[in-house]
């Protein structure tokens, strides 16, 4: 077996090919295009397995190499301490260290979702971008009115009827900001229509429809929460136990033990799931959990079922 480490960049990919003993057989760079990768694959000794860091370019490279390799693995970049802590660091050395981690089975592998899930996840994340842009435009409208001292109802400002009435009847609206207000409002309407179309297409998708339907039976779970859970988590079966799912979501603290001293850190606020709730197991039962919002106290918590495997 030959082990290949890839250091992926926008235009080039540095590679290092090693055997089981650690001897280097090939090193170099190849262009980050499909046809150049095809030519490079023909020169590789057989059989081979390859590893790379998770980057924005990893997805298409992973899919392109998967039919040709024994295995394709993706490493968690923050856990590759051998690379991050190195005093001398360049693309050739990084590729060699990734090959060594793969060869010695020290690679901090991360989950790679299927192509179908990643394609739909990209659509959902694009929807998040549209929502952020809508909020920015709404804030821009409020800012323009406040800058020019226009009195308005904040709660009704972004309602279609009230906005038209404001422009038509409020004499405080300066002529210099009217075109900007109209352009901002038109942009919001277009973004809302696009966002609705994206969410509707995901809800109707045959791959997700049944799972979304089951998730929405949970009280308080709407279409966006259900889509986020289904696409960001992927297949729940990849977690052997409820403990691993809780750890993945960042809802339990780290354990640091040295000698007789054991320290538990607080739960990580940077969770892997866009959620406003705490999740805890109930009597180690994998199909039910206890869920309550951040603002609720212990006494107000309530039990809710989650999607069954």
> Are 122 and 93 part of one and the same domain?
no
Which pLDDT tens digit goes with each residue over 116-170? 899 999 999 999 999 999 999 999 999 998 888 888 888 888 888 888 888 888 8
172 or 128, which is more confident? 128
| pLDDT band at residue 290 using 50, 70 and 90 as cut-offs | very low
> Are 164 and 247 part of one and the same domain?
no
Mean pLDDT of 9-38: 91
> Are 125 and 186 part of one and the same domain?
yes
> Are 300 and 254 part of one and the same domain?
yes
Domain boundary among 103, 133, 164: 103
- Considering its fold, how many domains does the chain have in total? 3
Which pLDDT tens digit goes with each residue over 240-280? 888 887 777 777 777 788 877 888 777 665 555 444 343 43
> Are 120 and 200 part of one and the same domain?
yes
User: Is the residue at 108 inside a domain?
Assistant: no
User: Is the residue at 301 inside a domain?
Assistant: yes
> Are 94 and 125 part of one and the same domain?
no
User: Is the residue at 228 inside a domain?
Assistant: no
- What is the Cα–Cα distance from 117 to 63, expressed in whole angstroms? 13
| pLDDT band at residue 303 using 50, 70 and 90 as cut-offs | very low
pLDDT at 255: 79
- Say whether pLDDT at 308 is over 70: no
pLDDT at 245: 79
81 or 177, which is more confident? 177
Domain that holds residue 52: 2-103
The two structure tokens encoding residue 287: 């199909």
> Are 79 and 12 part of one and the same domain?
yes
Domain boundary among 170, 196, 212: 212
pLDDT at 79: 81
User: Is the residue at 91 inside a domain?
Assistant: yes
User: Is the residue at 222 inside a domain?
Assistant: no
User: Is the residue at 71 inside a domain?
Assistant: yes
> Are 98 and 49 part of one and the same domain?
yes
223 or 89, which is more confident? 223
Among all chains, which residue has been given the structure tokens 């435009």? 137
User: Is the residue at 227 inside a domain?
Assistant: no
> Are 119 and 76 part of one and the same domain?
no
- b/e burial code for range 40-55 (CB count within 10 A of at least 16 → b): bbeebeeebbbbbbbe
> Are 96 and 122 part of one and the same domain?
no
- Say whether pLDDT at 302 is over 60: no
User: Is the residue at 232 inside a domain?
Assistant: no
269 or 218, which is more confident? 218
pLDDT at 294: 39
Which pLDDT tens digit goes with each residue over 220-240? 888 898 898 888 888 888 888
- Using a cut of 0.85, tell me whether the model's pTM lies above it: no
Average pLDDT, the chain: 81
> Are 198 and 246 part of one and the same domain?
no
- Say whether pLDDT at 37 is over 70: yes
> Are 189 and 246 part of one and the same domain?
no
- Say whether pLDDT at 91 is over 90: no
Mean pLDDT of 71-85: 80
Mean pLDDT of 85-114: 85
- Say whether pLDDT at 306 is over 50: no
Domain boundary among 40, 69, 103: 103
């Amino acid at each position: 077996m030959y082990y290949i480490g890839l250091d992926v960049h926008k235009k080039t990919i540095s590679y290092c090919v090693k055997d089981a003993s650690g001897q280097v057989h090939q090193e170099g760079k190849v262009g980050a295009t499909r046809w150049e990768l095809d030519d490079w694959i023909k020169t590789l000794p057989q059989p081979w397995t390859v590893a790379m860091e998770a980057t924005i370019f990893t997805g298409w490279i992973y899919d392109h190499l998967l039919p040709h390799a024994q295995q394709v693995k993706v490493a968690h970049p923050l856990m590759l301490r051998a690379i991050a802590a190195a005093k001398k660091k360049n693309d050739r050395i990084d590729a060699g260290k990734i090959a060594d981690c793969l060869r010695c089975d020290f690679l901090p592998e991360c989950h790679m979702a299927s192509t179908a899930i990643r394609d739909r996840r990209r659509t959902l994340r694009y929807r998040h971008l549209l929502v952020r842009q809508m909020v920015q435009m709404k804030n821009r409208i409020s800012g323009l009115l406040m800058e020019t001292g226009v009195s308005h109802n904040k709660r009704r400002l972004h309602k279609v009827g009230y906005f038209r009435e404001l422009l038509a009847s409020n004499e405080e609206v300066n002529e210099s900001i009217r075109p900007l207000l109209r352009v901002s409002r038109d942009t919001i309407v277009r973004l809302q229509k696009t966002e609705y179309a994206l969410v509707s297409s995901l809800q109707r998708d045959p791959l997700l429809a049944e799972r979304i339907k089951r998730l929405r039976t949970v009280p308080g779970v709407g279409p966006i929460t259900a889509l986020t859970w289904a696409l960001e988590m992927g297949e729940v079966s990849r977690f052997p136990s409820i403990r691993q799912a809780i750890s993945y979501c960042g809802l339990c603290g780290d354990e640091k033990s040295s000698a007789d001293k054991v320290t538990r850190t607080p739960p990580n606020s940077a969770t892997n799931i866009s959620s406003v709730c705490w999740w805890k197991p109930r009597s180690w039962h994998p199909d039910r959990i206890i869920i309550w919002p951040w603002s609720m106290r212990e006494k107000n918590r309530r039990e809710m079922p989650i999607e069954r495997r």
